[in-house]
Amino acid sequence: MNDVIYLDGAMGTMLLPLGMTAGDNPSLFGMKRPELLEKIHMDYITAGSRVILTNTFSANADKLSGSGFSVKEVVSANVGAAVSAKRRAALSGINVRVALDIGPIGELPEPYGSLKSDHAYDIFREIIIAGEAAGADVIYFETMSALQELRAGILAAKENSRLPVWATMSFEAGGRTFLGTTVAAMGITLDAMGVDAMGFNCSVGPGEFRLFTRELRRFTDRPIIAKPNAGLPDPVTGRYGLNAEAFAAQMTDVIAEGASLAGGCCGTDPAYIKALVDAQNERGKDAPETQSPALAKTPAVCSAVKAVCFDGIRIVGERINPTGKKRLRQALLDGDMNYVMNLAIEQEEAGADILDINVGCPGIDEPAVMEQVVKAVQSVTDLPLQIDSSDPAAIESGLRACCGRAIVNSVDASDEKLAALLPIVKKYGAAVVGLTMDGSGMPKNADERVALAAKIVKKASEFGIAPEDIIIDCLTLTAAAQPDQTKETLEGVRRVRNELGVHATLGISNISFGLPARELLNGTFLAQALGAGLDFPIINPCSRPMMDVIAAAKALLGEDNDCLGFIKTRSEQEVLPENTKTADSGADTYTIESAVSKGLPDEVSALVKKMLAERDELEIVNSCLIPALDKVGKQYESGKIFLPQLLTAANAACAGFDVIKESILSKGKSDVNRGDIILATVEGDIHDIGKNIVRVVLENYGFHVIDLGKDVPAQKIVETAKEKNVRLIGLSALMTTTVPAMEKTIELLRREGHECVVMVGGAVLTEDYAEKIGADFYTKDATASVRVAEEFFK
């Protein structure tokens, strides 16, 4: 049997009968009554607890603001009570550890709420420094539901203290936290970050904890913590369902499943801990010495919500990479995250498992843009990321921002690169792509590829990075230029997989550069490489032929249970051609005006493509697209159509504008731009939908919108306006409580002397209100904002 270490039970439950009321901050209550706290700690120690949690769950700067006490004072007093209990226990020869308890800050992290990772980091650091100084032995995060927030805490702990770090999150009965983090995603992330013990607390009872523990053991070999509630509370009385004996009996199963740090949460008290200890002692006498069988840890990467295990073909989406893509490069330079986020959404919907993120292009602050893109992409997709850069600073910045466990793409076999990157890979616990090249140029054959891969594996092992977390890239060389290299690449893949126990990745499309029928060559090469053991193909998942090859290969390689997935997708695809009419045929029956008003994006883009053969881009914009939009705008104003119809029309027009933009960029001309406009939802407001509607419509009229997003501080708006010299600014606020932030923004713009026109909109605003807060225009809806913009840029 495992040696179990006993933790304590609830603290809040113990304080309520002593005079604290619901809604009070327990840390403030406790600091005024240290003798009560010490007694509770002693009761737990007497019951058998050997790790006691300090009464600091809510002792953070946000929750203490306005209390008149500093974090340091509150933390010191509460930790002090636990430390004196520890000293008293030591007098009787009992060795107790004091765990600095840290709960969630109270606001949800971005993109749900306003909590920024940097702010979370600072708040946690303050508690950690005070707690360590006051004598804590362990840093203990608990009741976390947001993995992003917990990550900030763990980084703060690792970078500001040498104490061990333990962490538990709260899972609902289905095995997900309120924010959707799964047990697997928590396990993969915390194990990668080097947390010393991890597990679960609160929310449900020990029955569910047994299943959570079993799942977690697949992803970590570190000690597992179980601190469940005493069953579920009665909705009317609030009393928990399990008594101490029943709790202890069910905990026996959780411990048998592999939890080695056991205690209780809501509804438990010292009697529960005593029953737990007694039940284990009882069992220990009779039970034979059985050790739960050690499981091999499953290598995997994850986002906050989704795990992707390294046990089969995993598609890496390649489209977020500006090399050779003018439109994306422009978007990155402009900070146009919507374009990038859409690339992520499209790839996820097309079936990618992992997204490669590369933002390298001339004139860009790569570390800063990498952070921005990683956050933006993670706000709209569930996929794990592969951070792709040749700049170690950009890689670190991407890893730091990335929630979950990522892949680093890439290190090569040169000593400098290995020395620069492996410590970063290790620090963030990432998986890593190793390129089979070094300073001396490209490898000439399979032997050289294997030798370089072996060097990477050896160096990585010195940092404790295992071969199953390494993905070797044997380099796809252009077949037209180096025809003898393709088979060397394939042989390299086969050998590194077999001889080194690593995974293999290849960028596929480079193979066909300069040749006709590229898709055929790419598909054939992909099939050959998958046959050789390639398991991380880097492709465009929106390419149907490539995805077909992967689906077929999975079926043939036994990765598709009885080929059922293949059969299903094929039968769906075969039905399609009869039911869907192609956009080209539609182009004959519609005009741009009718296709826009009916909201048919494919038809609009086909029509625009056709017109481009004869007409200039600007002419199409001015004589077709804008008049079509004007017409639906008027219909909307007169009540002939309602808002969803206006937006579907705008969306269809947008497809036309995309064609125009591509065409202009491909000719090396500058974009259609009728003028720059900044849009932002003001600080404190997270209701973004109104502003987003305005953005879509303004963009369709050819205005260049710099969308700063939601919850935007006044300072940021002013800085951007000055830096980019933008003279028209649109602000949105939905709530009466956030209009003051709008007023403040306008005030700051005026005070800083930036000459500009401000238009405002949002549910609570009126003409009068807008005037009162100093705005130049009140725009009641999206079409009104277009009129202001047209007038302004006339």
Partner 1 sequence: MTAHIKQPNTGEVLRYLGYRGQEMSSQLAAQIEACGREVAGAAKFAVIYKHLPIEEISAEKACAGDTAQPADDPGARLSEIFLPGKDIAAHLKGCSDAILMAATLGADVERLLLKNEVSDMSRALIMDACATQLIEEYLDAFENELRESMAGESLYLTGRFSPGYGDLPIEIQGEIAAVLDTHRKIGLTVSKTHLLIPRKSVTAVLGISQKPVRLSARGCDLCSKKADCSFRKEKRKCNE
Residues in touch with partner 1 (CB under 8 A): 21-23, 104, 106-108, 111-114, 143, 145, 170, 177-180, 202-203, 235-236, 238, 338, 341-342, 345, 379-381, 598-599, 639-645, 647-648, 650-651, 684-689, 692-693, 696, 734-738, 741, 762-764
Nearer CB in complex with partner 1: 348/371: 348
Q: What strand order describes the sheet that includes 757-761?
A: 704-707, 676-681, 728-732, 757-761, 777-778
Smallest separation, CB 640 to partner 1 (Å): 6
As measured in angstroms, the least distance from the Cβ of 652 to partner 1 is 10
Q: Extract the tokens encoding 70.
A: 């500093």
Would you say the C-alpha torsion 18, 19, 24, 26 has a positive or negative sign?
Answer: negative
- CB closer to partner 1 out of 23 and 363: 23
Q: How many Å apart are CA 464 and CA 207, to the nearest integer?
A: 36
Please check whether residue 229 is in contact with residue 204, taking contact to mean a CB–CB distance below 8 angstroms. Answer: yes
Q: Round to whole Å and give the CA distance between 465 and 480.
A: 37
CB 183 within 8 A of CB 215: yes
Tell me the closest approach of the beta carbon of residue 317 to partner 1, in angstroms: 15
Q: In the beta sheet, which residues pair with residue 225?
A: 199, 261
d(CA 254, CA 215): 12
Nearer to partner 1, 362 or 639 (CB): 639
Could you tell me the smallest distance in angstroms from the CB atom of residue 657 to partner 1? 14
List CB contacts of 582: < 8 A, sequence separation 6 or more: none
Distance, CA of 184 to CA of 431 (rounded, Å): 16
CA–chain centroid gap for 282, Å, is: 45
Cβ proximity to partner 1: between 6 and 703 the closer is 703
Q: How far is the CB of 220 from partner 1 (least distance, A)?
A: 25
Closer CB to partner 1, 229 or 410, in the complex: 229
225 vs 647, which CB is nearer to partner 1? 647
Going by C-beta distance under 8 Å and a sequence separation of 6 or more, which residues neighbour residue 607? Answer: 587, 590, 591, 592, 595, 656
Nearest CB to partner 1, comparing residues 581 and 615:
581
Distances in Å between the alpha carbon of 223 and those of 78, 194, 217, 478?
Answer: 27, 12, 9, 49
Minimum gap (Å) between residue 601 Cβ and partner 1: 10
CB nearer to partner 1: give 277 or 696: 696
Q: How far is the CB of 609 from partner 1 (least distance, A)?
A: 22
Tokens of 327: 């439109």
Q: Looking at the chain, how many residues does it have?
A: 794
**Quick one: which of 249, 260, 245, 145 has its CA closest to 207?**
249
What minimum distance in Å lies between the beta carbon of 738 and partner 1?
5
Q: Which is nearer to partner 1, 414 or 651 (by Cβ)?
A: 651
What would the two tokens of residue 737 be? 């409580």
Q: Report, in Å, the least distance between residue 388 CB and partner 1.
A: 22
Q: From the CB of 341, what's the least distance to partner 1, in Å?
A: 5
Q: DSSP string of 77-145?
A: HHHHHHHHHHHHHHHTT---EEEEEE---SSPBTTTSSB-HHHHHHHHHHHHHHHHHTT-SEEEEEEE-
Q: How far is residue 515's CA from residue 160's CA, in Å, rounded to a whole number?
A: 55
**What φ, ψ does residue 759 adopt, rounded to 5°?**
-110, 140
Q: Are 403 and 378 in contact (CB under 8 A)?
A: yes
In 3D, which of 103, 65, 119, 181 has the Cα closest to residue 711? 119
Closest to 368 (Cα-Cα) out of 391, 345, 339, 350: 391
Q: Least distance to partner 1 from the beta carbon of 145, Å?
A: 6
- What per-residue string of b and e applies to 30-43 under the rule 16 or more CB within 10 Å gives b? bbebbebbbebbbb
Which C-beta is closer to partner 1: that of 56 or that of 389? 56
In this structure, which amino acid lies at residue 302?
C
d(CA 102, CA 202): 14
Residue 171 DSSP one-character state: -
Strand 307-309 relative to strand 300-302, pairing: antiparallel
Choose between 544 and 640: whose C-beta lies nearer to partner 1. Answer: 640
Which residue, 607 or 742, has its beta carbon nearer to partner 1? 742
Least Å distance, CB 110 to partner 1, is 10
DSSP 488-522: HHHHHHHHIIIII--EEEEE-GGGGTT-SSHHHHH
Cβ proximity to partner 1: between 59 and 83 the closer is 59
Report the amino acid identity of residue 492.
G
Query: Of the two residues 590 and 792, which places its CB atom closer to partner 1 in the complex?
Result: 590
Coil vs helix vs strand at 60: coil
Strand 676-681 and strand 704-707: pairing? parallel
Q: Nearest approach, Cβ of 681 to partner 1 (angstroms)?
A: 11
Distance CA 224, CA 216 (A): 8
Closer by beta carbon to partner 1, 465 or else 765: 765
DSSP state of 625: I
Query: In whole angstroms, what is the distance from residue 691 CA to residue 683 CA?
Result: 13
Please report how close the Cβ of residue 633 comes to partner 1 at its closest, in angstroms: 15
CB closer to partner 1, 485 vs 692: 692
Alpha-carbon separation of residue 167 from 145, 369, 389, 685, 753 (angstroms): 11, 31, 31, 31, 49
To the nearest whole angstrom, how small is the minimum distance from the Cβ of residue 726 to partner 1?
22
For tokens 């609570």, name the residue.
Answer: 764
Least CB distance from residue 593 to partner 1, whole Å? 16
Query: How far apart are CB 41 and partner 1 at their closest, in Å?
Result: 22
Q: Which is nearer to partner 1, 248 or 359 (CB)?
A: 359
Beta bridge partners of 761: 732
Shortest CB 99 distance to partner 1, Å: 19
- Residue placing its CB nearer to partner 1 in the complex, 133 or 763: 763
